[in-house]
Structure 1
Amino acid sequence: MIALYWAEDGRFPPGDRGLAYGDGLFETIRVDGGSAHLKAYHLDRMTRDAARLHIPVNRSELEHIFHQAVERYSVHYSVDSWILKLTLTRGSGGRGYRPSPNMKPNLLVSHAAMPPLAPASGVAVDFSRVPLTVNPLLAGIKSLNRIEQVMAASELQDGLFEVLMANPAGHIVEGTRTNLFIETDDGWRTPSPDSVAVRGVMRRYVIERLRANAEEVHEAPILLDDMLASSCRGVYLTNSVLGVVSVRTLAGQDLPVTGRLATICGSTPKTE
């Protein structure tokens, strides 16, 4: 059973392993009034990835806490959009890195105002100098270990919306807070799931919508040349809070902006 903590109560245990070692994971969920975007996808991922980390979590318990949180916080926002954050850790205990046996997970629940949406005309993006390394055992997990993204995000200056990170092989993998899609003459391409640090729920939704629309989707490496080639019809970033975002300029170079991916998928899905 989960030990539940509300952030505003200030009672989260200082010996928590998430604070000490990043031993946990988190979800940020967009809520419009009381209706959540991709709620089932978020809870699916948290349950699945907790199992990968050997953190015992019951999906129905997470669902119950989610509804408690929406009821508790939605009164602050009326019909406005807001963000619900669930931070799940292994719990408290253990000397050093080794956890104690039979630990009870901690779940910290908090809320925040909705950030500004990106303009439909597209955003400016550049490349990060921070390389992205992905441990195959942890690929795709939205864990609390995000120091590479923190360092890369410090480069977001001068009106940049995002910076894209490459792995040691030179493949463009993802942004600090976004997954990557490009449209080419041969269909859509997105990095393979075993190469990304975070397998976004919006990424999952977009792939499902594209395939339901009979669009070709290839999960394969993306190089800089692929994004700047004449065969590239558009570059898109996806994020469950911000939806589908078109890239207008990449490292100062203009890109085509059609908004086609948002048209196919909807820029902000409301799938529960």
Structure 2
Amino acid sequence: MAGLDVIWADRQDLPASDRGLAYGDGLFETIRVEGDQPLLLRRHLERLVAGARRLAIPLPPDQLQQLVGEALEHYGRPSAWVLKLVLTRGSGGRGYRPPAQSRARLVLSCHAMPPLPAPGGVTATVASTPLVVSPELSGLKSLNRLEQVMASQHLPAEAYEAVFTDAGGRLLEGTRTNLLLRFDGQWWQPPAEGVAVAGVMAAALADGLTAAGERVRQRPLPLSLLSRPECEGLYLTNSVIGAVPVRRLGCLHLPIDNTLATICDPLKLPK
């Protein structure tokens, strides 16, 4: 059963028997591509391979790398675009229990680059329902995204993002972004074990800041921190937009800090 079943989204349809469609049994990656140059590709593929290992989905890394190369040639265009990879356990009958043997399926698709947020800062809101992250699934960019769908469905028209807290009111992440807080001259991120998605841009920024001599810490982020005078700025980060400051979260107006751009450009970080 070695190897992958491959679906090119512009040529083929996904079988109705696919476990990703039936149960969300799979993972995905969303990769920004500039022409034929994918940003943070190594980190994306490493996350996908590690996630597949955790879910016991057979994924040959060499074939994955080859298919991504083919996708860059097949879908490539001169401007910025987005390559999406969807990995599922494949087809496997009815019922939650995976088959003893399965052949994983990889769907490759091309998407237009979404409009980028204003560099001067965006408005965000706090999601009305806390995000509960299962320790067994923490960090995985899985196909199970109903909490994010619901929060996005209720997003006010003027808001760019909905930010989740945990049950204790501590900041976790956005529906499609990770958080980076500048506080008292340091950079703080929520603890990795508590977030639903371990973002590749969040990791790349932490490495870039550390290499530049900045101090980056993981620690709980109570919402009350944003009202303190030591708060210097809150950023939303992901691999498509890079990093954008939040100028207002709900009714709270936040300082805009441009320090990050002077230290490391999120879109020019090492792969």
Is this a same-fold pair by TM over 0.5? Answer: yes
One-letter amino acid of the counterpart of residue 268, structure 1: L
TM-score relative to the length of structure 1: 0.96
Deviation at 1:270, TM superposition (A): 5.6
Q: What letter matches 2:6 in structure 1? A: L
- Distance in structure 1 (CA, Å) of the matches to 2:246 and 2:158: 13
* Residues 1-272 of structure 1 aligned to structure 2 (within 5 Å): 1-74=3-76, 77=77, 79-185=78-184, 187-269=186-268, 271-272=270-271
What SS class does the counterpart of residue 267 from structure 2 fall into?
Answer: coil
Q: Which moved more, 1:200-209 or 1:118-127?
A: 118-127
Taking the aligned partners of 1:22 and 1:265, their CA distance within structure 2 comes to: 36
Is the deviation greater in 153-162 or in 213-222? 153-162
**Structure 2 contact 201–266 (Cα < 8 Å) conserved:** no
* Structure 1 moving runs of 4+ over 4 Å: none
Q: Secondary structure at the match of 2:248?
A: strand
- Which runs of 5 or more residues in structure 1 are unaligned? none
How far did 1:103 drift?
0.2
Take 2:31 and 2:211, find their aligned partners in 1: how far apart are those partners?
24
Q: Which residue identity does 1:50 align to in structure 2?
A: A
**Could you tell me how far 1:118 is from its partner in structure 2?**
1.4
State the SS of the aligned residue for 1:9: coil
Equivalent position amino acid for 1:20 in 2: A
1:258 Cα deviation from its structure 2 partner: 2.2
Shift of 1:23: 0.2
* Alignment root-mean-square deviation, CA: 1.2
SS at match of 2:10: helix
Deviation at residue 48 of structure 1 after TM alignment: 0.5
Deviation at 1:269, TM superposition (A): 2.8
1:177-226 per-position Cα deviation (integer Å, ceiling 9, x unaligned): 00001111151111011000000000110110111111111101101111
Q: Are the aligned partners of 2:19 and 2:88 in contact in 1 as well (CA < 8 Å)?
A: yes
- The CA deviation at 1:271 is 3.5
8 Å contact kept, 2:208–2:269:
no
Give the structure-2-normalised TM-score.
0.96
Comparing 55-64 with 26-35, greater Cα deviation is found at 55-64
Q: Contact 1:39/1:271 (CA < 8 Å) preserved in 2?
A: no
SS state of the match for residue 193, structure 2? helix
Structure 2 unaligned regions, length at least 5:
none
The amino acid that maps onto 1:184 is: F
